[in-house]
Structure 1
């Protein structure tokens, strides 16, 4: 009997550890989602339309709040769209607890500060749009933590530093737009290995280095490549350029490219816009394409295409 009593505390401890581990496997629910969104509301300093202040109330279901969508299966928050509401504030770490979130759009507001590392918990994300805000700090090194991500737009912010090589982990990415930040360094070559990419916009930064000559080898569906207003140099890519057969926009102007314009550009039958001006390209005619001097923009048919 004494031996039994001595073992009982150990058995109880094992049981408690098992229960704790079981609960840890299912730590969140709709109440967690509500708390996360209320934390966001609490970090909003300016809400000119009073949408969050009045509508996001504990007296109603979180799934009925403006800008919030829930899934029918698990009854969890799957989408948050509070774009263009004139909101000013910071993004709290609690937002990373929305573990069922598939779409997050907070674009065209006045959010500032850095992105919280807790965003790595949003592993179901397919769309992340935080463009046209005042976000700052180092470009998040954990950006490659979203295995399902299709669309990434952080354009028109004030991110600094390098684009991390981990971005190549976004193997399902279709659109990446980092236009108009303060990014530096080379473009990770892994970006050109994401075969699902259709739009790459990295213009208006301070990116440097050379482009891989065979960058189109893994980008058969690329529609738009916009790298203008950077510090890129070297020869324009030529090898396998014809494999970008869907390309409609090629914008490489205002860089430091040299040499001649590759004749392979003439094989891009769907090309609608071509910008090569303000580089150091040789001025000569080739395959129906005219090189220009340092002060001009080279373009084919002009059609306005909306940035995502």
Structure 2
């Protein structure tokens, strides 16, 4: 069989293919890690290439491009943490035969990954949403082992137990636990979540005084604590929450006078509060 490079056409094709694999050409940023591979391929390419090899490379190139564009998997350690979380929550239908970042997601039931982290070939979990799933387990303390997790949405389930102290060492920015069966106090450790913007704990059975450490959450915009069993006054340290836009603490057993420092919440749009005396609603 005549070789492609024995003809002018063949030489032109071979040179074109070499040029297209030149790492100095304008490759998308996602492909920068593979420039050395393309370079070595270009150098190692024989000057005489038969038709079979030529078309084989043409066939493999699109596959490489697709892998580069959509590739990346969840690290094994994060998969292991997800398995523990599933057991803790009582979530039984996660299919770990499929990479979790490829699961079918909805807004209420999904595992959302970030596969575009600079200088990282892996995907990482950023959000877990399991809303209205009839989960009957307890809250997983393992969330602090997912370093890229920003949001946990577990509203309207039957989750019991307390809020894990371990969450205070996570990187969570949004916590939504509305409508479960949670008991006990808000752990002081949640005050370590200095990037938290949303804390939704309404319609549970939480109790105790509000920890003054909540005042450390200076980026907090939404604080929903209604319909629990919280007692005592509002901690003065909450005056630091100047980013607050919405606060709901109605239907608790809070006591004391209306604090003067509420005037520091200049971004506030909605405030719903109930004290033992007096009772008021301010919009």
Are 1:183 and 2:183 counterparts? no
Residue 164 of structure 2: aligned partner: 116
- Contact 1:30 1:77 (8 Å CA) reproduced: no
Residue number in structure 2 paired with 1:231: 276
Does 1:38 find its partner at 2:83?
A: yes
Provide, for residues 122-170 of structure 1, a one-character-per-residue CA deviation record: whole Å limited to 9, x for no partner.
12x2211011100111221212111111111011111111100000100
Map 1:1-308 onto structure 2 (within 5 A): 30-45=75-90, 52-54=91-93, 56-65=94-103, 66=105, 67-72=110-115, 73=117, 74=120, 75-123=123-171, 125-216=172-263, 218-228=264-274, 230-233=275-278, 252=280
Alignment length (residue pairs) = 200
Distance in structure 1 (CA, Å) of the matches to 2:240 and 2:163? 26
**RMSD across aligned C-alpha pairs, in angstroms?**
1.9
Identify unmatched segments of 5+ residues in structure 2. 1-73
Structure 2: how far apart are the matches of 1:88 and 1:152?
21
Structure with greater helix share of residues? 2
Structure 1 residue 214 displacement after superposition: 4.5
**4+ runs deviating over 3 angstroms:** none
Does the Cα contact within 8 Å between 2:165 and 2:190 map onto a contact in 1? Answer: no
Counterparts of 1:32 and 1:118, CA distance in 2: 18
**Distance in structure 1 (CA, Å) of the matches to 2:243 and 2:89:** 36
Residue 137 of structure 2 aligns to a residue in which SS?
A: strand
Separation of aligned partners in 2, 1:81 and 1:156: 18
Deviations 1:154-194 (A, max 9, x none): 11111111100000100101000000111111101222331
What TM-score, normalized by structure 2, do the two folds share?
Answer: 0.66
Structure 1: stretches of 5+ with no match in the other structure: 1-28, 46-51, 234-250, 254-272, 275-308
